[in-house]
Structure 1
Amino acid sequence: MDLQLTGRKALVTGGTRGIGRAIVEALAAEGTSVAFCARTETDVKEAEQALRVDGAQVSGTALDVADGAALAAWVGTAAEQLGGVDIVVANVSALAIGPGEQNWRSSFEVDLMHTVRMVDAAMPHLERSDAASIIAVSSVSGREIDFADGSYGVMKGALVHYISGLAFDLAATGIRANAVSPGNVYFDGGVWQNIEQHNRGLYDHALGLNPTGRMGTPEETAYAVVMLASPRASRISGTNLVVDGALTRGVQL
Structure 2
Amino acid sequence: MDTSRIALVTGANQGLGRALVEGLAARLHQDDLVLLTGRNRQRVRDAAREVAQAPSTRARVQGEVLDVTDTGAVSRLAEDLRARHGGVDVVVSNAVARLLPGESQADRADEFIDVSNTATHAVLRSFGPVLRPGGRLLVVASSLGTLGHLDPRLHHLFDGATLDQVAYAVESWRSAVHHRTAAEEGWPLWLNVPSKVAQVAAVRAVAAERRARDLATGTLVAAVCPGMVDTPTSRPWFEDHGQAQSPARAAAALLDLILDEHVDPGLYGELVRFGRALDWHSGTPPVEQDRLLTP
What TM-score results when the alignment is normalised by the length of structure 2? Answer: 0.67
**Could you say what the CA RMSD is over the residues aligned between the two structures, in angstroms?**
2.7
C-alpha separation in 1, matches of 2:196 and 2:117: 7
Q: Percent identity?
A: 27
Task: Please state how far the C-alpha of 1:44 moved relative to its aligned partner.
Answer: 0.4
Structure 1 counterpart of 2:272, one-letter code: L
* 226 and 130 in structure 1: CA distance in 2 versus 1, 3 angstrom threshold: same
Alignment map for 1:56-135 (pairs within 5 Å): 56-96=59-99, 99-126=104-131, 129-135=132-138
Structure 2 counterpart of 1:121, one-letter code: S
Structure 2 counterpart of 1:221, one-letter code: A
C-alpha contact (below 8 Å) 1:88/1:119 kept by paired residues: no
Listed one character per residue, the Cα deviations across residues 159-202 of structure 1 (whole Å, up to 9, x for unaligned) are: 11221222222111214211112333114xx2245x2xxxxxx6
- Which residue of 1 is the match for residue 45 of structure 2? 45
**Structure of higher CA gyration radius:** 2
C-alpha separation in 2, matches of 1:149 and 1:27: 36
- Which residue of 1 is the match for residue 228 of structure 2? 184
Question: Which consecutive unaligned segments of at least 5 residues does structure 1 have?
Answer: 1-5, 196-201, 208-212, 244-249
Task: Please state how far the C-alpha of 1:109 moved relative to its aligned partner.
Answer: 1.4
Task: Please state how far the C-alpha of 1:8 moved relative to its aligned partner.
Answer: 2.1
Secondary structure of the structure 2 residue equivalent to 1:92? coil
- Which residue of 1 is the match for residue 269 of structure 2? 238
C-alpha separation in 1, matches of 2:97 and 2:15: 14
Alignment map for 1:101-250 (pairs within 5 Å): 101-126=106-131, 129-143=132-146, 144=149, 150-174=190-214, 175-187=219-231, 190-193=232-235, 195=236, 203-204=238-239, 206-207=240-241, 213-235=242-264, 236-242=267-273
Number of aligned residues: 222
Task: Please state how far the C-alpha of 1:99 moved relative to its aligned partner.
Answer: 4.1
C-alpha separation in 1, matches of 2:27 and 2:189: 36
- Which residue of 2 is the match for residue 246 of structure 1? none
Structure 1 counterpart of 2:51, one-letter code: L
Task: Please state how far the C-alpha of 1:108 moved relative to its aligned partner.
Answer: 2.0
C-alpha contact (below 8 Å) 1:135/1:180 kept by paired residues: yes
- Which residue of 1 is the match for residue 25 of structure 2? 28
Deviates more, 1:172-181 or 1:97-106: 97-106
What TM-score results when the alignment is normalised by the length of structure 1? Answer: 0.77
C-alpha contact (below 8 Å) 2:78/2:130 kept by paired residues: no
Question: Which consecutive unaligned segments of at least 5 residues does structure 2 have?
Answer: 151-187, 275-280, 284-295
C-alpha contact (below 8 Å) 2:27/2:58 kept by paired residues: no
